[in-house]
Each structure stands twice: as C-alpha cells, then as structure tokens.
Amino acid sequence: MSEENARQRFRIARILLVEDNPDDVELVKRALQRGHVDNPLTVMNNGREALDFLLREAGRLDMPPFDLLLLDLTLPGLDGRVLLQEMQADKRLRRMPVIVLTGSVREEDWIRAYKTGAVAFLRKPFELERFLATMGDLYGYRILIVKDESL
C-alpha cells in the first residue's frame, strides 16, 4: 500500500477533554504538547453540555464523535460519574475510550469508573511522565491514530 493510500485510510484521532478547572486544562494541553501528541483537542467544562453534544453528534454521525475522552469526575452540570453511565447506555458512545483524570482518592470512584467503561484512571495532580506513558500506551493500541471508517 502506498503512503498516500495509507493516509487516506487513517486519520488523526479526535480527543475531547471534559474539565472545569482552567489550570488542569492547561496542564493537559502542556502534557500533550510535551508528549508530541498533536491530535485535535476539544475542551468542554460542563458535564451536561458534553453529554448533550456527544449524543447530538453521535446521532448525526452514527458513531462516536471523538476517539478518546479525557474526563474529570467532578463537573458542574452533570457529574463525570453520571456522564460515564449515560455513555454506557448509548451503543455509539460506549465504544469511546475514556481516561478519567480526577483528584478523587476514593477507591469506589476507581471501581465505578472502570465498571462504567474507563480504560485508565489517573489521579490529579497527575505526574506528567505517567500521563505521557498512558497516552503512549494508547498510541500503541492505535487509539490516537484510527482507521477512518467513513472513507
């Protein structure tokens, strides 16, 4: 397969960050830059708006509108825990990998996040190297570069 054909069949994965703290948003952006992850990043700071947007776009596209969700658990409008549950209830959104970024130290939050679809759980303030390693693992699983099924 030629390089041109390969480029036509794959696209850079889209990332959604749902985080209400502007300092944490900047930290994630810097971590992605430092890790040379230059995927398109959309930021939403409210759980309700994020869910409404995800459902609207998933209905329009009939697939997850993002390839990765970075999610804070404590959000205004709709808690991240509830957002995860709502995503699991939708057959299109449950396929979207979720990394939980939270300040919570409660074991039940970890367990609940994994049971409702999270693929990773990082405690804030997260160590930059651990965050980059997790992103690197996802890249290894081809989550950051995905096959474009619309072609």
CATH number for the domain spanning 91: value is 3.40.50.2300
Sequence-separated (6 or more) residues with CB below 8 Å from residue 106: none
Residue 52 lies in a domain: yes
What is the pLDDT at residue 7? 46
Q: Tell whether 32 is covered by a domain.
A: yes
pLDDT at 109: 86
5: in domain: no
SS3 46: coil
Residue 7 within a domain? no
Q: Is residue 70 domain-resident?
A: yes
What's the CA gap between 13 and 76, in Å, rounded? 27
Supply the pLDDT for residue 47. 95
Q: Is 118 exposed, middle or buried (0-12, 13-18, 19+ CB in 10 A)?
A: buried
pTM over 0.85: no
User: Rounded CA gap, 11 and 147, in Å?
Assistant: 6
3 in any annotated domain: no
| Residue segments in the chain with a per-residue pLDDT below the cut of 50 | 1, 4-8, 150-151
Is residue 22 assigned to a domain? yes
To 5 degrees, how large is the angle CA 68–CA 102–CA 75? 85
Q: Which domain holds residue 92?
A: 13-147
Number of domains in the chain: 1
In terms of Cα–Cα distance, which of 13, 80, 73 is closest to 42?
13
| Residue 150 burial (10 A CB sphere; 0-12, 13-18, 19+) | exposed
The answer to the question of residue 4 being in a domain is no
